[in-house]
Amino acid sequence: KAGVLLEAHYTFQFCSPTRSSFLSGRLPLHVNQKQPDNGATPGGIDLRMTLISQKLKLANYSTHMIGKGHIGAHALANLPINRGFDAHFGFLGGGEDHFSQRAGGIADLWRDHTPAYGENGTTYSCYLYGREAQHVVATHDFDANPLFVYLPLHDTHSPYQSTPEWLDASVTQKARQLMQAMLTCTDSVVGNVTDALKSKGQWGNT
C-alpha cells in the first residue's frame, strides 16, 4: 500500500537498448537497437553520449553502478568507471552463470578499473550485488554529498538459476519455479536496500 502504482511504463524488446535508454536519456532508436556482443565489436552506448552518471557528478553526487552492464565492452573507455561512475562492481556482458560469474568459460566480473580477481564464484549473483548495494548505502556519508546507485540486478535474466532457499516446492513447473525464485530474491534485495536507507535516515529522501 505504500508502494508506487505504475499505470504504464515503456521499454524496448531487448534489455541492452532499454538500459542504454535509461542511462543516456535517449530513445533506443538513437542509442542502440540490438544487443552488443561481449566486446568483439563496438556496441552499446556511443562513447560520445553523456550518461546520467556524468550529469549527476556535476551536481556533486557520489555515483555507483552495481550489477549487469551490457552497454558496451569493446574498450576500456566503455568501463562504467570511465563513464561517470565513481565505483563499479559488476559484469560487462549480457548474461552469465549466476554462481560462477562466467560466460563461455570466461569470468566477467569487474571492480572499478580491473577484473574482480577472487570475487567471482563466491556466491549467487543476487546476493553478490545485493550485498554490495547495502554496503555502499551503509558506508556513504550523506552529509558530504547525495548518492546515486544504479543497481541493474542479473536476476531475473537467463540462465535461470536459484539457490534452494527460494524454490517453492509447490510449483511443479520447473521454469516457473526458477523464475519465481529469482524474482523473490530480487524482492529481498530491494527490501534489504530499503532497510539500509532507512537505517541511514534517507528513505524519506529517496
Q: Which residues are catalytic?
A: 15, 70
Helix (H, G, I), strand (E, B) or coil at 196: helix
Looking at the DSSP bridge assignments, the partners of residue 91 are 68
Residues sharing a CB contact under 8 Å with residue 117, sequence separation 6 or more, in sequence order: none
Dmax over CA atoms of the chain, in Å, equals: 51
Grid coordinates in use for 85? 561512475
Grid coordinates in use for 159? 540462465
Residues sharing a CB contact under 8 Å with residue 122, sequence separation 6 or more, in sequence order: 128
**How many CB atoms lie under 10 A from the CB of residue 203?**
12
Q: Which of 125, 132, 136 is nearest to 197 (CA)?
A: 136
Beta strands in the chain (DSSP E): 62-68, 87-91, 102-103, 106-107, 110-111, 114-115, 147-150
